[in-house]
Structure 1
Amino acid sequence: MAKTKKETKGVQDFSKYIRWFWMVFIGGILAVLLIFLLASWGAFGEMPDHTQLENPRTNLATEIISSDGQTLGKFYFNDNRTPVSYSELPQNLIDALIATEDARFHEHSGIDGRGTLRAFITLGSGGGASTISQQLAKQLFHGEGSTNIVKRVLQKAKEWIIAIRLERQYTKEEIIAQYFNIYDFGNNADGIRSASRIYFNKEPKQLDLKESAMLVGMFKNSSLYNPRRNPVGVKNRRNVVLYQLEKYGYISEKVKDSLQQTELDLDYSPESHREGIATYFRGYLDGFMKDWIKNNPKPDGTKWNLYNDGLKIYTTIDSRMQKHAEDAVQQHMPRLQAEFFVQNTPKRNPTAPFLDLELEEIDALLNRGMKQSERWRKMKYDLKKSNKEIIESFQKPTKMSVFTWKDGKASEVDTLMKPIDSMRYYKSFLRTGMMSMNPQTGHVKAWVGGINYRHFQYDMVKQGKRQIGSTFKPFVYTAAIDQLHYSPCDEFPDVPYCIEANKYGNPEEWCPKNSGHNYGGTRTLKNALANSVNTVTAQLIDKVGPQTVVNLANKLGIESEMLPVPSIALGTPDISVYEMVGAYSAFANQGVYTKPVMVTSIEDKNGTILYQFKPETRDVLSEETAYVAVKLMEGVTQVGSGARLRHSWAKNVTEYKEVITGYPYELTNPIAGKTGTTQNQSDGWFMGMVPNLVTGVWVGAEDRAAHFKTITYGQGAAMALPIWGIYMKNCYADEDLNISKEEFQAPENLTINVDCANHNSDTTEEDSDEETPEDLDFG
C-alpha cells in the first residue's frame, strides 16, 4: 500500500535530523583532531621539540659530596633538586604511586582511554583521568592549568600530545623517575631525594612503606598536605594511599590496618644554607666555586650556574670526622662560655665583656661595629636613611632572636633588645676555629669555622687571622735544628736574655720574660719547648736570625705578613688556622709541605669531569730535621702544657678543672703538639699531630679586649686543647677512620740524638706530671 504524503514528509524530516547528527558528530571529531593537530604544530603556544623532550629544562641544585659519599649540603636558589635514577627508588614507593595516581600506567601509552571516558561521563566526579605521563607533561612544560575553560581545553590538548611524545621518548621506568624528581614537596624539598632527606633524614632507597605512602599522598597538593603545618590532613591522605595499595593487591588488609594506626614519625632535617653539617666549609666552598666558574666557562662559552646546573662537587671532608669536630666544639664551648659569663658579670666587671678598656674606648669600638653592621648597610644604602636616623634606630628596643647556649646546646631565644645592646651581647661570646688535615695527601677532613653559622658567619678557619702565641715557637726551634744541627737534648741556660737595640731593626732592646718570671739552671730544648720558656726561645732566634725563621715559615705555606723582628719568636704575627695546620703538616710528612686540598673534582649533571685537583707539594725540611722537630713537640704532650691529654686526674678534680678538661682523654699513643696563649689571654691555641692527622684549634672572642682575666682559663691548654682532645678521642673510637696510633716514622740515618732520658738537668720533666695547671709555665 502506498505511503501517504504526510507519512513521506515525516520520514524526510527524521532523516534531516540524522544527517545533522552525523554532521555534528563528525564535525566534532574533526574539530578535536584539528585542535590536537594545531596544538602539535604550536598554534596554541610553543611545544617542546625532540631536543627539549630529551633534555627537559629543570633547575638542579649543586650537590656537595663528602669523601665518604655523604651529601654535606647543596647550593640552590629556589629549587633544591637532586635527581635520582629509577634503580634508586624503593619498590614500595613505586607501587604507592601507581596504585594512587595511575593504576593502568603499564597498560596505556600516555592517555588512559577508560579513565578519560569515565571522567567525561561523570564530569570528573568519579576522579580525574590524568595519567602519570600527563602529570609529568604538565609539571615539565606548562605548570598549573588555567581557570578559563577555553584555555584549559587547549592546555589539556597540549598535555595529551606531550604525554604521548614522552611515552615514545622514554621508558616507563624513566617516566616514573622523572615524575618523582620534578615534584615540589614543600619546605625546600624539590624532588624525591630532597623530600626523603628533609622529612625522614634518609635516602629514598631507605624509605619504608608508610613513609613512601606519605610522600605519594603529597602529590595531590603539597601545599595543603604539608606535614609540618597539617599533620592530621597528611596522615589522612597517607591512609588513603595505603587503602589504594590494599585495593590493588600490593599489601594485605592486615598491613593496611596496622600502618593506618601509626603516626607520621617525621625526622625533619631542613636543608638550608645556614643549617646542617659543615656550614662554614660550605661558606668557603661558595667562594671557591664562584672563582672557579669565573675562570672555567662551559664549552659554548656561557657561564656555569652554581645554583641551577646540577654540578657535583666532590670534597675531601669526611662527614664522620666533621661530625666529631662539630660535636667537640658543641661539648666544650658552652662550659667555657658559662665560666666566661661568671667572670664577666656587671658586678665583677663594670665594662663587661671588655677588660682593660676605658668607657670612651668601648663607645668607639661599638660605634665602629655599628658602621660595619648589616643593619647600617641596609638603612644607609637600601632605605637611604641619614646617619642620625640610623644611630637612633640602634637605641630603640627591637624584637629579635638571639643566640644562646641552652642546656649545653646552641639555641635561640626571642627577646626585646636594643640593637646596640645586642652588639655588646654578641661580642661577649667566645668563638672558635678548627681544621683537621691528612699531612700526606693534604686532604682537609674537618672544618669548623665558628660556634653557630646562623649567628656568627665570619669563618675563623681561613678568613680570620689571630695572634698565634707559642704555637709559633716550633718554627724557631726547627730553624735552629736545621741551621745549627741542634738536638732536643742540648742544654741552654734559663736566665734573663736580651737582644740589643737595632740588631735586627729593633728600635729598642728586647728582653722577654718567662711566664711567672721563673729562672735558674739549664734546660734542654725539649724541656724548654714543653714548658714554653721564652728566654730559651729568645736565645735561639738570636742565633739564627728572625729573617731565617720568617723564610722557613713562608716555605711552610704561611702567607700572612711577618716582620723579621725578634718578637715574632713569641708568636706576635696574625695567622689563620688554615695556614698553621698546613705548616705543621710538613713536620708529620717528613719535611714535605702539601698544600691543603678541599675539592678533589667537579662534575656536571651527566657525570662529565670538569675539574680534577693536582696536588701541590714541595720539600721544605730534611727528613731528619722534621723528625727532630716532631720529637721536640712530643715533649709538650708528655710533660708540658699538653700533658693533660695523657692523664686521668680529671676524673676527680675541682669544678674549674672540669670546665677546662671536660672529661679525661687518657690518650696513650704518640702525640706531638704545641699550645699557644697570647698577651692578656685573648687567644688560646692548640696544634696537635699524629702521623696521619694534623689538627689546629683556636678559641677567642671577636675583640681581643674580651678575654679571661687570668691564665687559669685563658690559656691555650684550657681554651683550645679540650676541643682537640674530645675530637681525637671520638675519632679513635670510630675505628673505620683508621687514625694512627703509631710512632712517627724516623729517618733511616738519624744523626741527631733525640733520646734525652739521661739528661739530669730535665728535672722539670719528671716533676711536671704532678703539677696542676696553675703551676705549669704555659705558653
Structure 2
Amino acid sequence: MAKKKTTKSKAETVDFSKYVRWFWMLFAGGVLAVVLLFLFASWGLLGEMPDHTRLENPETNLATEIISSDGVTLGKFYFDDNRTPVGYDDLPKHLVDALVATEDIRFYDHSGIDGRGTLRAIFKLGSGGGASTISQQLAKQLFTDQVSQNKFERALQKVREWIIAIRLERQYTKEEIITQYFNIYDFNNHADGIRSASRIYFGKEPRDLDIKESAMLVGMFKNSSLYNPRPHKNPVGTKNRRNVVLAQMHKYGYITEEVKDSLQATELDLNYTPESHREGIATYFREYLRAFMKDWANEEANRKPDGSKYDLYSDGLKVFVTIDSRMQKYAEEAIALHMPRLQAEFDHQNTPDRNPTAPFLELSKSEVNNLLKAGMRRGERWRILKEQGKSDKEIEASFHKPVEMTVFKWTDGKPSEVDTVMKPIDSMRYYKSFLRPGMMSMDPSNGHVKAWVGGMNYKHFKYDMVKQGKRQVGSTFKPFVYATAIDQLQVSPCDSFPRTPITIEANKFGNPEPWTTKNSDGNYSGKQTLKDALASSTNTITARLMNEIGPQPVVEMAKKLGVEQDILPVPAIALGTPDISVYEMVAAYSTFANKGVYNTPVMVTRIEDKNGTVLYQVAPESKDVLSEEVAYVTVNLMEGVTQAGSGRRLRHKGFDKWNAVYKEIITGYPYELTNPIAGKTGTTQNQSDGWFMGMVPNLVTGVWVGAEDRAAHFKSISYGQGASMALPIWGLYMKACYADKTLNVSKDEFEKPSELSINIDCTAKDEGDLIDESESSEDNEIEIDFD
C-alpha cells in the first residue's frame, strides 16, 4: 500500500511542474505582450503619438490679448479658447501646493507614472481613487483625444498617456509641467487656463489669488462642468469640493488645521467677471481694434515667416494699446451716472399722453411709420429672414408678431437686462427712445487715445458713436471759424463787433440765396468782444467773421485739423451744420492744445507674437497746421466759455437760481473745477445733438449725446442743450481723473508762446455781466434751413 502511494505522489509532482512551466510561459508572454503594447504605442501603431517637436511646442490655441498703457488686460480675441499662458513665477505657492496635495502628492518623486498609485488602483479596481499623475493628466489634455467610453479603447488610451507622460518628464522640469497643466485646463465659462479662470471667477491675476480661491480652482480640475461655481450651476457642490482640497492641503501639512477650519467656513466670494466680446471694459474700442487687427493681418508685409496670415483668435498675439484702463473706467462710470438720469427726464417728457408720436417730435404718425419701415430694412432681422428666402411681405409681417426677447433697461440708475415678450416693431421704437453717448479722450502731445466709449452698452447698442457715428456739431464748429479769422486777419479776442444781424448776399461765396443769422437770445444791441461772443455763442458775430474770410478757408482749416468727410463751402457751416465724428473733433481740438501741431490719433503702439517678437511698432504722424500763436489765442478764446459762458457750471460748488431748473438731472454734480479749462458747448437745431469739447494742457475730451434719430429729442432747450446733455459727463470724468493722482492730469495754465503779437489782455469785466446763462443763451438755437 505504501509503495502505491509513493508512485502516485511522483505522478502528481510531474503534473504540477507542467503547470508551473505554463504559468511562466504565460507570464513571460504577458510581459512580452505588455512590452510590445508599449512599443507599438510608442511607435504610433495604436494612435498618433507626438514627436519631439510637438512635445517642445504643444499645439494650443492662444487668445490675442489687449494690453492697456498701464499694463492691464482690457480684453481678448478668441473663438473657443480664451487662453493666455502664464509662467511658473506667476503662480502663488499655495495654488501649486493645492494641486499637488489633491491630484498627485508624489509628483516630485516619480518620473511620470506613480507605481504605488497604479498598483492601488489595480488591486482596488479604482475604488481607492485614480492613479493618474499630473504628468499623465497633462498628456491627456495635450495629446490624446476625448476620453473613450469603451473600456478596451480607454485602456489603450491610458497606455499612450503613460508613454507621453514619461516623455514629458524627460522634456520638461516639474515646474514647467505644472505650469503647462494650469495653462491648458478648461475651467468653463470661457475660462481657458488659470489666468482666464482667476480673472473671470475672481477678477484678479493668478499671483493675487488667496488660499481659498486657489483651492476652489484646483477643485474644478476634478470636473469643471460639475463643480461650476456660478449660481445657476452648482455653487454648493463647488464649495464642498473646495473644502476637500483644503482638507488635503491640511492632511499633507501645507496649511494648519486652524486655517483649514476657518477657510472651510467661508463662502466662495466670487467676483464673476465674464470675458466675452460683448462684456467688460472698453467694448466699443475693442470692436474698433478687431477691425484694425484684421486689416493689419491682411497686409502682405505682416505675414508669418512661412507666408501665412496671423490668426487673431488663436496665435496668442499681444496688442499694446494707448487706452488707460483707469481713465476708461472713469469715462464709463461718468456715462453710467449721467445717462440714466438724463434718460429718466427724457422719458418723463415723452410719454404717449404728452406726445402721441413718442419718442419722436414734429413727426406725423405716417412719418413715424415710414421711419420704422426704413429701420426694418436696415436691421439684422430683415437680413437674416431675407437670406432664408422670405418675401418682403412675410418679413414685414414678422415684425408685428410678439416674440420673447431680452431688452436693455436702466434700473435704479444702472444698466440691466429684462426678459420680455414684445413685437419687434415695438422693440425698434423702444430702442429709438434711448439717448446715446459718444466720448473720446486723447493726449494732444502724442495723439494717444486714453478713453473711448462708443455707447452705453455694446450688447444692445452696437453702433459706435466715437468713430462710426457722425452728427451735426453745432457751435463746437465755431472755433474753426475763429481760428481761421485769427490766422488770416490777426484779430484779437479783445476786438469788438456789433451784435446786429448780418446778411451774406446771394452768390457771395457761391451761396445761392441771401443768408441771415439770428441770435438765440434775440439780443442784437451793442457790441461784444470775440471772447465774449464765443462764450455766449453769438451767431451774428460768427457770421461777420465768415463774411470776412469766406467759407472755403474754413473748410480747408477743418481738413487740416483732420476732418475727413467733404464739407460744402457755404456760409451756414459757421453755425455747425457739418456732420463730424467725436473722433475727428477730439483730434482737431487737440491741435489747439498742442500748439498748432496735429497728431493723427494713435490707438495701437505695438504688436508682439506669443514669443514676444515685435511685429508692429507705431510710426507717429504729425503735421503743422497753425502757428503756436494762433493756436494759443484760439485756446484763450475757448477759456472764456468756462469762465463766463455755457461751460461756467464746471466751476460751481453747488446750486443757485441759475441751475435750479436742471437739478433733477445734475444732482450730485458740483464739479468745483478751478483750474484752466478751454472748451465749447454745442447744440444743433431742435436739440437733436448735444456736445461738449473740453481741454486741459495734456488731455482733450469730446462728448456727444443724442438719439439714433434726430426726430427724437428734448422739446425744450433747458434739458436739450449741450451744457445739460454732454457737459456733465465731461465734468464727472475729469473730476474722477483729478482725484486719481497717479494719472497726472494737468491743472496748469496753457503754455504761452514766448512771442505773442496778438493782444489777449482784454479790459476786465465783471464775469457775471458777460452773459446771462438762461436757457436762451446756449449755442445756436435758431431756425436754420439745412436744405
Q: CA deviation at 1:253?
A: 1.5
Q: CA deviation at 1:257?
A: 1.5
Residue in structure 2 matched with residue 728 of structure 1 by the alignment? 734
Q: Deviations over 1:257-300 (max 9, x none)?
A: 22111111111111111111111111111111111111122111
**Structure 1 residues 310, 585: closer, same or farther in 2, change over 3 A?**
same
**Structure 1 residues 742, 60: closer, same or farther in 2, change over 3 A?**
same
1:148 correspondence with 2:154: no
Instruction: Work out which of the residue numbers 406, 428, 434 in structure 1 matches 2:411.
Output: 406
State the AA in 2 paired with 1:292: W
Matched-pair contact (CA < 8 Å) for 2:341–2:413: yes
Residue in structure 2 matched with residue 110 of structure 1 by the alignment? 112
State the AA in 2 paired with 1:178: Q
Structure 2 distance, partners of 1:54, 1:494, is 78
Equivalent position SS for 1:516? coil
State the AA in 2 paired with 1:675: T
Structure 2 distance, partners of 1:423, 1:198, is 33
**Structure 1 residues 148, 775: closer, same or farther in 2, change over 3 A?**
closer
Residue in structure 1 matched with residue 783 of structure 2 by the alignment? none
State the AA in 1 paired with 2:293: M
Instruction: Work out which of the residue numbers 398, 416, 436 in structure 2 matches 1:431.
Output: 436
For these two proteins, the number of residue pairs brought into alignment is 773
1:342 correspondence with 2:348: yes
Structure 1 distance, partners of 2:244, 2:277, is 35
Structure 1 distance, partners of 2:272, 2:308, is 38
Equivalent position SS for 2:508? coil
Instruction: Work out which of the residue numbers 309, 317, 322 in structure 2 matches 1:316.
Output: 322
Residue in structure 2 matched with residue 453 of structure 1 by the alignment? 458
State the AA in 2 paired with 1:183: Y
Q: CA deviation at 1:196?
A: 0.7
State the AA in 2 paired with 1:712: S
Instruction: Work out which of the residue numbers 365, 372, 390 in structure 2 matches 1:366.
Output: 372
Residue in structure 1 matched with residue 784 of structure 2 by the alignment? none
State the AA in 2 paired with 1:268: Y
Residue in structure 1 matched with residue 445 of structure 2 by the alignment? 440
Alignment of 1:246-325 (within 5 A): 246-295=250-299, 296-325=302-331
Normalising by structure 1, what TM-score? 0.98
Q: Deviations over 1:747-769 (max 9, x none)?
A: 101111111135xxx67x44147
- Using the aligned pairs only, state the percent identity: 73
1:642 correspondence with 2:643: no
State the AA in 1 paired with 2:720: G
Instruction: Work out which of the residue numbers 377, 382, 402 in structure 2 matches 1:376.
Output: 382
Matched-pair contact (CA < 8 Å) for 1:650–1:658: no
State the AA in 2 paired with 1:159: E
Structure 1 distance, partners of 2:269, 2:351, is 44
Structure 2 distance, partners of 1:728, 1:777, is 22
Q: Which runs of 5+ in 1 are unaligned?
A: none
1:558 correspondence with 2:563: yes
Structure 1 distance, partners of 2:17, 2:697, is 101
Structure 2 distance, partners of 1:93, 1:23, is 49
1:594 correspondence with 2:599: yes
Alignment of 1:17-36 (within 5 A): 17-36=19-38
Structure 2 distance, partners of 1:609, 1:49, is 29
Normalising by structure 2, what TM-score? 0.97
Instruction: Work out which of the residue numbers 172, 175, 186 in structure 2 matches 1:173.
Output: 175
Structure 2 distance, partners of 1:112, 1:672, is 71
Q: CA deviation at 1:8?
A: 3.0
Residue in structure 2 matched with residue 123 of structure 1 by the alignment? 125
Residue in structure 2 matched with residue 186 of structure 1 by the alignment? 188
Structure 2 distance, partners of 1:87, 1:157, is 32
Structure 1 distance, partners of 2:653, 2:118, is 76
State the AA in 2 paired with 1:98: V
Q: CA deviation at 1:341?
A: 0.7
Alignment of 1:695-734 (within 5 A): 695-734=701-740
Residue in structure 1 matched with residue 774 of structure 2 by the alignment? 773
Alignment of 1:582-731 (within 5 A): 582-650=587-655, 654=660, 656-660=662-666, 662-731=668-737
**Structure 1 residues 92, 162: closer, same or farther in 2, change over 3 A?**
same
Residue in structure 1 matched with residue 543 of structure 2 by the alignment? 538
Structure 2 distance, partners of 1:148, 1:415, is 46
Q: Which runs of 5+ in 2 are unaligned?
A: 781-787
State the AA in 2 paired with 1:306: L
Instruction: Work out which of the residue numbers 31, 35, 48 in structure 1 matches 2:50.
Output: 48
State the AA in 1 paired with 2:390: K
Structure 1 distance, partners of 2:617, 2:453, is 25
Residue in structure 2 matched with residue 37 of structure 1 by the alignment? 39
Equivalent position SS for 1:696? strand
Matched-pair contact (CA < 8 Å) for 1:332–1:662: no
Q: CA deviation at 1:9?
A: 2.3
Structure 2 distance, partners of 1:173, 1:150, is 33
Residue in structure 1 matched with residue 164 of structure 2 by the alignment? 162
Equivalent position SS for 1:313? strand
Matched-pair contact (CA < 8 Å) for 2:475–2:680: yes
Equivalent position SS for 1:517? coil
Structure 1 distance, partners of 2:218, 2:191, is 13
Q: CA deviation at 1:405?
A: 0.8
Q: CA deviation at 1:720?
A: 0.5
Equivalent position SS for 2:479? helix
Q: CA deviation at 1:687?
A: 0.3
Equivalent position SS for 2:464? coil
Matched-pair contact (CA < 8 Å) for 2:136–2:164: yes
Structure 2 distance, partners of 1:337, 1:773, is 22
Structure 2 distance, partners of 1:422, 1:74, is 31
Q: CA deviation at 1:390?
A: 1.2
Q: CA deviation at 1:650?
A: 2.4
1:495 correspondence with 2:497: no
Q: CA deviation at 1:776?
A: 2.7
Matched-pair contact (CA < 8 Å) for 2:521–2:777: no
State the AA in 1 paired with 2:777: L
* Structure 1 outlier segments of 4+, above 4 Å: 1-5
Instruction: Work out which of the residue numbers 210, 234, 237 in structure 2 matches 1:233.
Output: 237
State the AA in 1 paired with 2:722: G
Q: CA deviation at 1:46?
A: 1.2
Structure 1 distance, partners of 2:283, 2:742, is 24
1:242 correspondence with 2:246: yes
Q: Deviations over 1:118-170 (max 9, x none)?
A: 11111111111100000000000114321222211211111111001111111
Q: CA deviation at 1:656?
A: 2.9
Q: Deviations over 1:586-612 (max 9, x none)?
A: 000000000110011111111111111
Structure 2 distance, partners of 1:108, 1:647, is 71
Structure 2 distance, partners of 1:505, 1:513, is 21
Q: CA deviation at 1:620?
A: 0.6
State the AA in 2 paired with 1:776: S
State the AA in 1 paired with 2:389: K
Q: CA deviation at 1:738?
A: 0.2
Q: CA deviation at 1:649?
A: 3.9
Equivalent position SS for 1:504? helix
Equivalent position SS for 1:600? strand
Matched-pair contact (CA < 8 Å) for 2:520–2:776: no
1:571 correspondence with 2:576: yes
Residue in structure 1 matched with residue 100 of structure 2 by the alignment? 98
Instruction: Work out which of the residue numbers 733, 743, 755 in structure 2 matches 1:737.
Output: 743
Q: Deviations over 1:64-90 (max 9, x none)?
A: 111101111111111111111110000
Structure 1 distance, partners of 2:779, 2:147, is 72
Worse-matched range after superposition: 537-546 or 645-654: 645-654
Residue in structure 1 matched with residue 74 of structure 2 by the alignment? 72
Q: CA RMSD in A?
A: 1.4
Structure 2 distance, partners of 1:768, 1:487, is 18
Q: CA deviation at 1:91?
A: 0.4
Q: CA deviation at 1:662?
A: 4.6
